Amino acid sequence: MEFQKYEIEPSFYDEMFHRDGSPRQHCVELHATLSDLTELDLSTMQERVTRSFYDEGITFIVYGDEAAGERIIPIDCVPRVLANAEWRHIETGLDQRLRALNLFLQDVYNEARIIADGVIPTDVIRDCPQYRIEMRGLSALHGAWVAVCGTDLVRTNDGFRVLEDNLRVPSGVSYMIATRKAVKANLRGVYRRSNVLDVEHYGKLLLSTLRDLAPPGVTDPTIALLTPGVYNSAFYEHMFLARELDAELVEGRDLIVNDGYVYMRTTSGLRRVDVIYRRVDDDFIDPLVFRPDSYLGVPGLLHAYRLGNVTLANAPGTGVADDKSVYAYVPDIIRYYLSEEPILANVDTYLCRQPEGLEYTLDNLEDLVVKEVGGSGGYGMLIGPHSTAQERQDYAKQIQANPKNYISQPVLDLSRAPCLIDDQFEPRHVDLRPFVLRGNETRIVPGGLCRIALKRGSLVVNSSQGGGAKDIWVLPD
Amino acid sequence: MLSNSANGIYWMARYMERASYMCRLLHIQSEALVDRPVSEIQFGWRRIYTAINRNPLGGVQAVGPLDDYNLVDAYLLTDELTFVRDNPESILSCLERGRENARQIRHCVSDQMWTALNTEFLRIRDVKLTDIWLASPSSFYEELLAAIDRFSGVATATMYRDEGWHFFRVGQFIERVQFGCSLLLTQKMIENQSGELAEASWRSLLKIFHASGAYDRTYSIEIQPDLVLDLLVTDRRIPESLLRSVDRTTQELSSLGDGPDAATSGALRRLAGRLGALLRYDWPDRDDRDEVLRQVLRYSRQLDSLLSKTYFNYAFQGVPRSDI
């Protein structure tokens, strides 16, 4: 099917095409293959990909919309291709960023030099709800407070920028692998010819990372993945990863803390657990320390952690480093700890906690995206250009009532990539979430989850709000 | 293996086995609706409802007179037993609960097992009785039964023979003992009450146990209830006879290691042994066969409870220092 009707808009970077409509060099092979396929081939392929997700039960439930039942994340069968040089740039930048953020976490929970040196104002940290006082004085093995990170990147005509650092319990990696499996099965020829770099060994890298983080003296650690349970929207991923790791998938009720050690209840008795890859938020992880009404966590878990008898990956309290106020300081954090210039740029950010930031935000609401500092998942934000006057007025009141809770950013011209929409190629805005692992070294698979804003013109890529996903092909040198 | 995972596998197997029994019962019933006398159809409904210990729609008592079933509509009963989610014993409920358990322990079973179960559930999830009633309900049950059998076959062909496998098999066999025993008791109870020798109902019972051909070969085509009972209870060549299911349960339990408490583990194995002895040595000599069947049912329920105490929900009694 040809791309004649495909619209290229110069204000948006197109992932497949130059402005003159010719395919970018690293997309030539895929472009030719797609052009040779008929409309029927493509719709059949799309159907097969979708079917495979249903059959394998790669589904999720949207909070607040449980009645709608299980959904799959809509998968677009047209991959997004990245040239090797582009990927190397991203990879180096992500490594740099995560090293700096881990140093920041170690510092902020210990000497807090960065505050003493005036790089970050005290109140930014003090007011951050994700700063966990209970973690003061603790260190993470190999400095890996964040062992698993899922950074959101976007591309504009000016290059890649980091939109968010997801440092708590980032998800989506199972979709990355499932999408790869489904798409490569349907585009076998071009996949082989392109020598696309593999992402399916992610589980092995994660296992190596978690093994790195075993408590001292434990040579063959028992690893468990802690899930909130089957009703969590990411449960498929938890199950998938437990399998990849050959680890037990445990819920809070399966674990017991005794004498400062963590045990899981097995059919032959209690068995000690050394490393917990936890997919439960800080708030719920230990009712004795955090939310007392949590049934998802394990009483005494933080005590065992503090004693160094169990590793939690990621460590509690990492949310302070992906708070949206702190985000604005990440370039300074990189310069402060590494004495390097940031490789990946931030998005310009205005902090409403600062008078000038607040004034600018309120004066330009129509042109800005405003977000809650602790928000995620695309919830609770205002997209100025897509909002009504009434919505802006209401949102302005919220900001004025609690300015510290908000930041604003310019609306980005997110890049677009061809997607199969109603059996036609149409451009849609996309982002990119690579997954970075940090044990005693940085490990990263080439690629990530490419999220798509499926509604025409929309910039919201979150799966809970109508976003989809597509495969990312990183080509070799 | 994590206790919770073992529990999930065990219940997945039980729900799938239960779905299979319900499917077989409804398959026979759907065929009976075509050309069998009303009394036989009524008997069939009552057998199902008594076996699952549930009162049917319309205020009818499951153990009431057969005539009561004239009052209710076969369509409604079929729907309630097949698709109604509020009925925990309906086929859809069993499949749904089997799948929910499977979803939680997917990492412990093969991909093929999950896919077999998931695709079948998705296939029938949105089917309505109106979609099958006028065409051919019996074909629907045949296909569904084939899919459930396929799930079991796929499990046998692909599941790793670790503890999970043994819990899977224990679940299958305990469900067979319990459901099979309930069916036999129901048959005796209804028959005793009505005082009729309903040859057709004994024949259909043999079919439910996949034992019709075996009976004809072993005895004759003439139905004698005592012989049918003997066959279904003690003939180990019948895959779902009670004795075979109990023996296989015992075998699977001995393949499992001890739970954390040796006393509970011992009690579990002794109970399984006692159940086998009851069927093997007491059954042939006892006249009060209803009572023996009731005893079998009691023992099998205790077995389920002890299994849980031994492996799934044992009391936490501290950790031995050596493990620290």
A463-475: average pLDDT: 88
Contact B259 A269 (CB under 8 A): yes
Distance from CA of A463 to the nearest CA of B (A): 21
CB contact, 8 Å: B119 with chain A?
yes
Residue B184 structure tokens:
């036999």
Task: State the pLDDT at residue B96.
Answer: 96
CB contact, 8 Å: B195 with chain A?
no
What would the pLDDT profile of A292-328 be if each residue is shown by its tens digit? 888 889 999 999 999 999 999 999 999 999 999 999 9
Domain boundary assignment for chain B: 3-312
Residue closest to A348 by CA, chosen among A324, A372, A378, A366: A324
Binned at pLDDT 50, 70 and 90, residue A459 comes out as confident
B13-17: average pLDDT: 98
CA distance A218 to B151: 41
Q: Which of A233, A267, A272 to mutate to test the interface with B (most CBs of B within 10 A)?
A: A267
Binned at pLDDT 50, 70 and 90, residue B322 comes out as very low
Task: State the pLDDT at residue A451.
Answer: 95
Q: Which residues pair with A469 in a beta bridge?
A: A75, A451
A96 neighbors A90 (Cβ within 8 angstroms): no
What would the pLDDT profile of A50-101 be if each residue is shown by its tens digit? 988 888 878 776 666 666 677 788 999 999 999 999 999 999 999 999 999 9
Radius of gyration of chain B (CA): 20
Contact B114 A57 (CB under 8 A): yes
Backbone phi and psi for residue B319, each to the nearest 5 degrees, phi listed first? -110, 135
Closest residue in A to B6 (Cα) is A267
Question: Is residue A90 classed as helix, strand or coil in its secondary structure?
Answer: helix
Binned at pLDDT 50, 70 and 90, residue B194 comes out as low
Task: State the pLDDT at residue B324.
Answer: 39
Contacts of B251 (CB under 8 A, 6+ apart): none
Write down the ipTM of this complex: 0.88
Contact B163 A254 (CB under 8 A): no
A71 neighbors A61 (Cβ within 8 angstroms): yes
B125 neighbors B106 (Cβ within 8 angstroms): no
What would the pLDDT profile of A357-375 be if each residue is shown by its tens digit? 999 999 999 999 999 887 7
**Which among A235, A251, A256 has CB closest to B4?**
A251
CA distance B285 to B269: 24
Binned at pLDDT 50, 70 and 90, residue A195 comes out as very high
Q: Are strands A368-372 and A416-421 parallel, antiparallel or unpaired?
A: unpaired
Size of interface A-B (CB pairs under 8 A): 77
A166-178: average pLDDT: 94
Tell me how far the alpha carbon of residue A464 is from its chain's centroid. Answer: 14
CA distance B40 to B33: 9
Closest residue in B to A238 (Cα) is B107
B43-71: average pLDDT: 81
Binned at pLDDT 50, 70 and 90, residue A241 comes out as very high
Q: Which residues pair with A418 in a beta bridge?
A: A427
B194-221: average pLDDT: 86
Residue A420 structure tokens:
């199969």
Average pLDDT over all residues of chain B: 91
- Domains in chain A with CATH codes: 93-149+204-338 (3.40.50.11290), 348-410 (3.30.1490.270)
